[in-house]
Amino acid sequence: MLKHILKIGVVTLSAYFIVSLGASNLFAYVDLIAVTFVVFPIAFIAAFLSWRYDAPSSPLMYVLGIPLGLLGISLGLISVFSGMSDFNALAPATAILLLTILYGGTISGLGYLWGGTERSQMPKIPYHSALICGIPLVSVVYMASPEDLALLLGSDYEALVLLALVVTLSMISFTSDPIVKRVTHATILVILILAILGIIDLAVIGANTMYADPDIYLQGMAKIYMSINTGLMIYIFCIIWSITAGVFDDIDFGKINWHLVEAFSLIVLITISPPSLYHFVT
């Protein structure tokens, strides 16, 4: 018990030092909605599985923190890009949404520090328990989603196309791996590809419009995040699925989450960055 208290104290003190270096106003990093979106599902799932199956909480914190934080960014940016035409308000709104990944990354880091290098094995759970774990995830997505379902999953059957692509890649991958592992890896591959294609699309839109039409540019951004959002929801579903299949510890979710952070860092940077070199030389 004393060891855990010391860990929390050291992490809290370290977080204070880091945050104080980033801004003069520490309250700039406080947002109740972002905290609820990230903390509530993880706390519910960890508490339920710990109570019902004596499952370790630290691996769940480590694995779920990053994707939930990124999902919060994706959902928020879809709403922002779909209803905003003022570029001056874009950066502040994006900064607020980025708080979800700050909280998600903090929880993930705490899970890693708490569990150490030797983590307890995750028990296999029945499907009805997996459905219970899915309730808080669906709840926060529903609360954070725009009123129009097309703004959540995209129009023109984009979500169905993405699902078909994930299924296709899963079928042609290594057959010796469990199906959940193949679906997980296929989903991450699709998300990474979509991030690259999205950046190319933004460059093309900017070049064609000379960045003179904010509506077209913002709509292009929203479409990118709609597709990635669907992929993130599939990935989070795969995390819960892996527990029911008993292969949670066989999938390197930490490495996968790092790839997600890389992809999102690049696309968010492109989203809020100045116009490209093309804009200045033409």
Instruction: Output the pLDDT for position 239.
Output: 93
pLDDT grade for 42, boundaries at 50, 70 and 90: very high
pLDDT for residue 16: 65
Average pLDDT for residues 249-274, to the nearest whole number? 82
Alpha helices, H only, 125-213: 127-144, 150-153, 158-172, 179-209
In this structure, the dihedral spanned by the alpha carbons of residues 238, 59, 138 and 149, taken in order and rounded to 10 degrees, is: -60
Q: What is the pLDDT of residues 171-216, one digit of tens each?
A: 887 667 888 999 998 899 888 888 888 778 777 777 777 767 767 7
Q: Which of 170, 204, 163 is nearest to 186 (CA)?
A: 170
How many residues are recorded in the chain?
282
Asked if 132 contacts 139 with a C-beta cutoff of 8 angstroms, the reply is no
State the average pLDDT over residues 53-75: 89
Per-residue model confidence (pLDDT) at position 1: 56
Considering only CA atoms, which of 220, 235, 196, 184 is closest in space to residue 71? Answer: 235
- Please give the structure tokens belonging to residue 63: 């694995």
* pLDDT digit string, tens, across residues 14-26: 666 666 666 556 6
Q: Of 163, 181, 148, 165, nearest to 75 (Cα)?
A: 148
**Amino acid 126: pLDDT:** 92
Q: Look at residue 133 in the predicted model and tell me its pLDDT.
A: 92
Q: What is the pLDDT of residue 240?
A: 93
| pTM for this prediction | 0.83
